[in-house]
């Protein structure tokens, strides 16, 4: 992009891995807050007890951040800026500044969909206090700002962790995460290359690594990268899926990875259910609902330790006012391969009829691929299973789950439940 270099900063070799914010101020006291994702040095893992890595790693969804970068929402209203002022939130919106480029959810001037995106430009919505929804009855946070709910929760409970980004995972493969007991995702790990997906599968099935999937609509779209540094990403919105535009016939294949078929990972024979037990099922407005506990097996009692007798989980939250919301994932035995015994721990159904089934599930006005009614299919499943190698997987099936973690100063049943899972996965 031929940007001029304004400054350089050499990262200290002993700086802890994590998310840092560089704050820039001008003479008028305007401030920019730029996130820096500092990953640990890449080391060779040989399984020795002396390995110095932390037990838990959080995968930062930088591919998803880039694909949504500068998303100019069609429902944007200038009145949203009033809330930004009253809440001291990030004051700018990409709808006001098209010269920095749009997202892959927007269009070119000829009304064709934008299929390329890069992080090598200012991204307004990649700021810690950016509000995606300016008129919601809750925080209105998505993507990176929403993921800070999880980061704050980790620090509150004193849980040590490293971070690895999608970009590092794409470049270094499973070597970037080998040696950790547990890998956690954020709220929305939607976009993946074949390299990142293969690395996660090998981490689970080759190294016996545990996975905690804390989002919804994850591992959904296949993307291609320009080079090993993934300085540019490409999306082809082929066939179906929830999308703001559709690829034209003859444009279903990537340019950047040698012409591989794009679209949904489900259409590429890699449905999310194979990796994390659940996959995208329904989408609604930015609203949340509680889960209802449905599993009382003694084998699973450890997950609910300290929650006492509550039937409902997460009937609160800063994201959508509930732990199960916005985009929901559920089980599907047709797609998960049937290799594991999957425990459905809790569920949340769209009782208010505010969600719709994703297009790839719909057959006719009265039938769908789930084999059950539409009312039953529009749900979130919280699940747990073990692999043959002993890897454990916990998935929540909701984008708004992490928004419930900080509620009541981090003292709530969603927070307790996740503490139980991390203790079992990383320290048990």
**pLDDT mean over 380-401:** 97
Q: Going by DSSP bridges, is the β-strand pair 279-289/233-235 parallel, antiparallel, or unpaired?
A: unpaired
Name the nearest CA neighbour of 207 among 425, 424, 340, 390: 390
Report the pLDDT value the prediction gives residue 46, as an integer from 0 to 100: 60
CA distance 204 to 387: 8
Q: Say if residue 45's pLDDT is above 80.
A: no
- Any idea which of 56-60, 127-131, 187-191 has the lowest mean pLDDT? 127-131
Q: Quick count: other Cβ atoms within 10 Å of Cβ 34?
A: 14
CA distance 270 to 393: 17
Q: Which helix (H) or strand (E) holds 200?
A: helix 194-205
Report the pLDDT value the prediction gives residue 218, as an integer from 0 to 100: 98
Name the nearest CA neighbour of 66 among 117, 105, 122: 117
Q: Say if residue 48's pLDDT is above 60.
A: no
**What is the DSSP code (8-state) at residue 354?**
-
Report the pLDDT value the prediction gives residue 226, as an integer from 0 to 100: 87
Share of the chain above pLDDT 70, in %: 98
User: What pLDDT digit, counting tens, does each position of 203-217 carry?
Assistant: 999 999 999 999 999
Confidence of residue 142 (pLDDT cuts 50, 70, 90): very high
Confidence of residue 400 (pLDDT cuts 50, 70, 90): very high
**pLDDT mean over 313-336:** 96
Report the pLDDT value the prediction gives residue 49, as an integer from 0 to 100: 44
| CB of 32 closer than 8 Å to CB of 24 | yes
**pLDDT mean over 314-338:** 96
**pLDDT mean over 345-371:** 94
User: What pLDDT digit, counting tens, does each position of 213-248 carry?
Assistant: 999 999 999 999 988 888 999 999 998 999 999 999
CA distance 178 to 193: 18
Phi, then psi, of 40 in degrees rounded to 5: -70, 160
Name the nearest CA neighbour of 397 among 343, 325, 342: 325
DSSP per-residue codes, 100-166: G---TTSB-TTSPBP-EE-SSS--TTSSTT--S-TT-SS----HHHHHHHHHHHHHHTT---EEEEH
User: What pLDDT digit, counting tens, does each position of 53-111 carry?
Assistant: 799 999 999 999 999 999 999 999 988 888 888 888 999 999 999 999 999 999 999 99
Structure tokens at 144: 């990176």
CA distance 71 to 60: 19
Distances 423 to 397, 418, 426 between C-alpha atoms, Å: 20, 8, 6
Confidence of residue 138 (pLDDT cuts 50, 70, 90): confident
Distances 336 to 158, 278, 391 between C-alpha atoms, Å: 35, 8, 16
User: What pLDDT digit, counting tens, does each position of 246-278 carry?
Assistant: 999 999 999 999 999 999 999 999 999 999 999
Share of the chain above pLDDT 90, in %: 83
Q: Say if residue 3's pLDDT is above 90.
A: no
Strand partners, 384: 343, 394
Q: Which residues contact 382 (CB under 8 A, 6 or more apart)?
A: 291, 344, 345, 346, 347, 395, 396, 397
Label residue 165 exposed, middle or buried (CB < 10 Å: 0-12, 13-18, 19+).
Answer: buried
Q: Say if residue 336's pLDDT is above 60.
A: yes
**pLDDT mean over 327-352:** 95
Q: Report the C-alpha dihedral over residues 354, 360, 364, 370, rounded to 10 degrees.
A: -80
Structure tokens at 134: 């300016």
Q: Say if residue 44's pLDDT is above 70.
A: no
Average confidence score pLDDT of the chain: 94
Order of all β-strands in the sheet with 324-330: 324-330, 279-289, 355-357
């Amino acid at each position: 992009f031929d940007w001029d270099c304004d400054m350089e900063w050499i990262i200290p070799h002993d700086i802890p891995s994590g998310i840092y914010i560089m704050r820039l101020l001008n003479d008028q006291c305007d401030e920019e807050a730029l996130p820096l994702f500092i990953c640990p040095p890449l080391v060779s893992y040989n399984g020795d007890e002396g390995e110095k890595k932390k037990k838990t790693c959080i995968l930062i969804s930088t591919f998803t951040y880039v694909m949504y970068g500068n998303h100019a929402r069609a429902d944007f209203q200038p009145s949203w800026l009033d809330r930004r002022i009253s809440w001291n939130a990030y004051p700018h919106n990409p709808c006001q500044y098209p010269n920095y480029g749009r997202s892959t959810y927007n269009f070119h001037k000829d009304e064709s969909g934008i299929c390329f995106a890069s992080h090598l430009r200012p991204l307004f919505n990649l700021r810690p206090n950016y509000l995606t929804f300016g008129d919601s009855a809750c925080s209105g946070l998505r993507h990176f700002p929403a993921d800070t709910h999880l980061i704050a929760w980790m620090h509150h409970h004193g849980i040590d962790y490293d971070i690895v980004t999608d970009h590092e995972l794409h470049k270094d493969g499973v070597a970037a995460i080998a040696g950790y007991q547990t890998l956690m995702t954020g709220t929305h790990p939607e976009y993946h290359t074949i390299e990142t997906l293969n690395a996660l599968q090998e981490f689970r099935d080759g190294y016996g690594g545990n996975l905690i999937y804390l989002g919804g609509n994850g591992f959904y779209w296949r993307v291609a990268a320009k080079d090993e540094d993934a300085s540019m990403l490409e999306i082809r919105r082929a066939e179906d899926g929830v999308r703001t535009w559709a690829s034209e016939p003859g444009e279903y294949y990537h340019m950047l990875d040698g012409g591989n078929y794009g679209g949904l990972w489900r259409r590429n024979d890699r449905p999310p259910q194979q990796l994390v037990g659940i996959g995208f099922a329904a989408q609604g407005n930015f609203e949340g609902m509680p889960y209802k506990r449905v599993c009382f097996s003694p084998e699973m009692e450890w997950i609910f330790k300290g929650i006492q007798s509550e039937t409902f989980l997460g009937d609160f939250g800063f994201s959508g006012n509930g732990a199960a919301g916005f985009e929901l994932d559920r089980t599907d035995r047709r797609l998960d391969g049937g290799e594991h015994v999957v425990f459905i721990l809790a569920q949340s159904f769209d009782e208010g009829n505010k969600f719709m089934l994703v297009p790839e599930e719909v057959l006719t006005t009265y039938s769908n691929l789930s084999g059950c009614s539409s009312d039953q299919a529009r749900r979130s499943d919280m699940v747990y299973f073990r692999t043959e190698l002993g890897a454990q997987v916990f998935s929540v099936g909701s984008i708004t789950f992490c928004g419930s973690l900080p509620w009541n100063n981090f003292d709530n049943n969603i927070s307790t439940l996740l503490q139980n899972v991390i203790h079992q996965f990383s320290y048990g």
